[in-house]
Chains A and B, each alone.
Chain A
Amino acid sequence: MAKRIDVSDLDIYYGNFLAVQGVNVSIEPRSITALIGPSGCGKSTFLRSLNRMHEVIPGARVEGKVVIDGQDLYGADVDPVDVRRQIGMVFQRPNPFPTMSIYDNVVAGVRLNGGKLRKSELDDLVEKSLRGANLWTEVKDRLNRPGSGLSGGQQQRLCIARAIAVEPEVLLMDEPCSALDPISTLAIEDLMTELKERFTIVIVTHNMQQAARVSTSTGFFNLSGVGQPGHLVEFNPTEKIFSNPEEKATEDYISGRFG
């Protein structure tokens, strides 16, 4: 069920401000793609444009093409709501719904999309998703407690469970570990490696070790200067990026010489 994503000549705007310019990239199915780069270079903006979350911000718009298995996501007849059902997202800060229990949080996507499932089917879905997010053993005895009562790392895994419960084709992760300790980070990285079997994953990260550990391909974004749009400098297999990058800028960034 994982899909291939082809992005061509993508320009992303906030109002009249061009934030990201001319991205051409092709993301393989069943892989983890990491996006790295200095703050403000447009990684997250690019990521959000992949499931049309970008346009939620007033004035934000996109020019260019994002094609998933032959279909242009920005076509005139495409409903952004349907796009987001296919392409799930996990945010930087864990954001479980505070009014819902752990159980309800996991099935929120299915329920809110109007899906009518029987109780037993919902139970199975909750167990499957929580197992998938590596959280089942920790919460199986307190599924009816509020999701906001979990620790930060558990909340983030709850959000991942919520995202994979709707069975998306692609999972976008926007710095999912930046607020977490190394142990929770490791749990989520292990999880990503497992999820790779089923989903196409794109992850934004500031942690270059993380990119090197989990990803198969890596894209490096950079700015040419303050107020200039960000652009994709290099996109290559992770091993190549971290051992023998094509661009000087990539090498400088990875070795810590700037940014």
Chain B
Amino acid sequence: MSTETPLAPAPAAASSAGPVRTQRRLPKAAPAGLFAAGVLVGALLSTLTGFSIALTVIYGAVLGTLAVYLVSRSVEGRRKATDRLVTTVVTTAFLIAMVPLVSLVWTVLENGLPRLDSTFFNSSMLGVVGEGGGAYHAILGTVIITGLTTVISVPVGLLTAIYLVEYGTGRLKKAITFFVDVMTGIPSIVAGLFAYALFALFFGGGVRLGIMGAVALAVLMIPVVVRSAEEVLKLVPNELREAAYALGVPKWRTVLKIVIPTSIAGLGTGITLAVARVIGETAPLLVTVGILTGTNLNPFDGRMATLPVFAFYQLTQPGVPPEFGIQRAWTAALVLIILVMALNVVARLISRFFAPKTGR
């Protein structure tokens, strides 16, 4: 700046240094601080009428947002204040959405951890009344039944998706897409009753088999596999198919050697997430597989135990005294969450390791 510039009082919102308008900004930590102050005031307000967490959250969210907006408006101007308002609202919504999740994980950990011991993993409930016992039989049952479900669902689901993307045309394709959509929304108990009714036709009423449970779960899993595989297969660029056709490669081999390898990461992820979706199903297993205190590893012979149903029965019929059964139910829930989490991690690993590499 030269000395000849007249010393005019600069307006708060604009300075004359260049063509781009500059304005006063709040310090970086200010919005968070203001919001915290608002929440604090909200907490005080709620103590007036007897402290409660729900009221604190509601008062705090409103007051905190208001504080950020008003201060920003008076310091930074209207446009920036609107920006801060929206940022605050979005962040608050995210935090509120996280509350049940964190609370759930916390509760399950707190109640489930005490019994997460070796006894839980290597003993069944055979002859156990009261303390001790475990879910050895239920964990293996869940693994076997979910494995069978996967064996049934993956070929059917994958081939359906390939049909829809690569071969299907016209009415049949539309009809299949429609019914897959409908099946995605089937209540799980309906799938259970369907499998029960189907097997009752052959084996008479009151029959309980592991394979029945697998069929019921497959009804739930197939549409999920079809949907995810279809989306992934659609992502394969048409140019690759044309490149293969132009080399004189038949269609089936193009699908097998070009389309599927290109999308294998997405397919693996989709299947793993579909498994995670059905592994915690309770209702269909309740009517098809039932529960057993001992170990049965043969899905073609009688009742089996599964983790979700195990948790259900330990909670509803905990025995006398009840606290040991309830504790086992929590631990079973924790093991189930760990299983689902492990499957999600596997899905991530699959998509990382099988994705096409660019490798410059």
Q: Which residues of A contact B (CB under 8 A)?
A: 51, 53, 56, 58, 81-86, 88-89, 91, 93, 95-99, 108-109, 112-114, 145-146, 148-149, 159, 162-163, 166
Segment 215-257 of B: residues with Cβ below 8 Å from A: 237, 239-250, 253-254, 257
The answer to whether residues A163 and B240 also contact, given A146-B358, A149-B360 and a CB cut-off of 8 A, is no
Separation of A145 and B356 alpha carbons in the complex (Å): 12
Question: Are A81 and B240 in contact, CB atoms less than 8 angstroms apart?
Answer: no
Q: Which residues of B contact A (CB under 8 A)?
A: 169, 237, 239-250, 253-254, 257-258, 261-262, 264, 356-360
Question: Are A162 and B242 in contact, CB atoms less than 8 angstroms apart?
Answer: no
Separation of A58 and B165 alpha carbons in the complex (Å): 13
Separation of A65 and B37 alpha carbons in the complex (Å): 82
Using Cβ atoms and an 8 Å threshold, which residues of chain B touch A98? 240, 262, 356, 358
Separation of A85 and B253 alpha carbons in the complex (Å): 14
Find the A residue at minimum CB distance from B246: A89
Using Cβ atoms and an 8 Å threshold, which residues of chain A touch B261? 99
The answer to whether residues A163 and B246 also contact, given A91-B239, A95-B240, A112-B253 and a CB cut-off of 8 A, is yes
Question: Are A91 and B249 in contact, CB atoms less than 8 angstroms apart?
Answer: no
Choose from A95, A96, A113, A148 the contact partner of B248 (Cβ within 8 Å): A113
Separation of A173 and B262 alpha carbons in the complex (Å): 25
Separation of A96 and B246 alpha carbons in the complex (Å): 12
18 contacts between A and B (CB under 8 A): A53-B245, A53-B246, A83-B248, A84-B248, A86-B248, A91-B239, A91-B243, A93-B239, A95-B237, A95-B242, A95-B243, A97-B262, A98-B358, A99-B356, A112-B254, A113-B248, A162-B243, A166-B247
Separation of A108 and B360 alpha carbons in the complex (Å): 21
Separation of A163 and B247 alpha carbons in the complex (Å): 7
Additional 20 contacts, C-beta under 8 A, given A56-B245, A84-B246, A88-B247: A53-B246, A85-B247, A91-B242, A91-B246, A95-B237, A98-B240, A99-B261, A99-B262, A108-B244, A109-B249, A112-B249, A112-B253, A112-B257, A113-B248, A145-B359, A148-B356, A148-B357, A149-B359, A149-B360, A159-B243
The answer to whether residues A113 and B249 also contact, given A53-B242, A95-B237, A97-B240 and a CB cut-off of 8 A, is yes
Using Cβ atoms and an 8 Å threshold, which residues of chain A touch B246? 51, 53, 84, 88-89, 91, 163
Question: Are A58 and B169 in contact, CB atoms less than 8 angstroms apart?
Answer: yes
Using Cβ atoms and an 8 Å threshold, which residues of chain A touch B258? 97, 99, 112
Distance (whole angstroms) from the CB of B242 to the closest CB of chain A: 7
Choose from A58, A81, A145, A149 the contact partner of B249 (Cβ within 8 Å): A81
Question: Are B262 and A112 in contact, CB atoms less than 8 angstroms apart?
Answer: no
Question: Are B239 and A82 in contact, CB atoms less than 8 angstroms apart?
Answer: no
Using Cβ atoms and an 8 Å threshold, which residues of chain A touch B254? 112
Using Cβ atoms and an 8 Å threshold, which residues of chain B touch A53? 242, 245-246
Question: Are A149 and B239 in contact, CB atoms less than 8 angstroms apart?
Answer: no
Using Cβ atoms and an 8 Å threshold, which residues of chain B touch A93? 239
Residue of B246, B257, B264, B360 with most chain A CB atoms under a 10 A cut-off: B246
Separation of A203 and B359 alpha carbons in the complex (Å): 32
Find the A residue at minimum CB distance from B239: A95
Question: Are B358 and A148 in contact, CB atoms less than 8 angstroms apart?
Answer: yes
Using Cβ atoms and an 8 Å threshold, which residues of chain B touch A84? 245-248
Separation of A148 and B240 alpha carbons in the complex (Å): 12
Distance (whole angstroms) from the CB of A200 to the closest CB of chain B: 16
Separation of A58 and B248 alpha carbons in the complex (Å): 19
Find the A residue at minimum CB distance from B258: A97
